[in-house]
Amino acid sequence: MIAIVDRGECIGCRLCEEICPDVFVLDSEGISTVIVDELPFEFEECAHEAEERCPSSAITLE
Ligand code: SF4
């Protein structure tokens, strides 16, 4: 599984970084970026939570 952030949709609320800091980190522009390529199994649960709770639906998991 991989995580993708739509930079055009992200509003920089930081929620994904708080929920799943091993996967999502806000960059210098205040936009969430994905810091791992293939998500390790142990990160999948928090990545799903971040996807579900992102207020702008900017996160996609594939
Ligand atoms: S939760 Fe969504 S809007 Fe908030 S920082 Fe993460 S990707 Fe951006």
Mutate to test the pocket of ligand 1, among 26, 49, 59 (most ligand atoms within 8 A of CB): 59
| pLDDT digit string (tens) for the chain, length 62 residues | 999 999 999 999 999 999 999 999 999 999 999 999 999 999 999 999 999 999 999 999 99
Q: Which domain holds residue 54?
A: 3-61
Q: What is the whole-number distance in angstroms between the Cα of residue 48 and the centre of ligand 1?
A: 13
Q: Dihedral through CA 27, CA 24, CA 61, CA 29, nearest 10?
A: -10
Whether this prediction's pTM lies above 0.85 is answered by yes
Q: Is the CB of 58 under 6 A from ligand 1?
A: yes
Query: Residue 10 CB: number of other CB atoms within 10 A?
Result: 23
Q: What is the whole-number distance in angstroms between the Cα of residue 18 and the centre of ligand 1?
A: 10
* Number of domains present in the structure of the chain: 1
Q: What is the whole-number distance in angstroms between the Cα of residue 50 and the centre of ligand 1?
A: 8
CATH code at position 37? 3.30.70.20
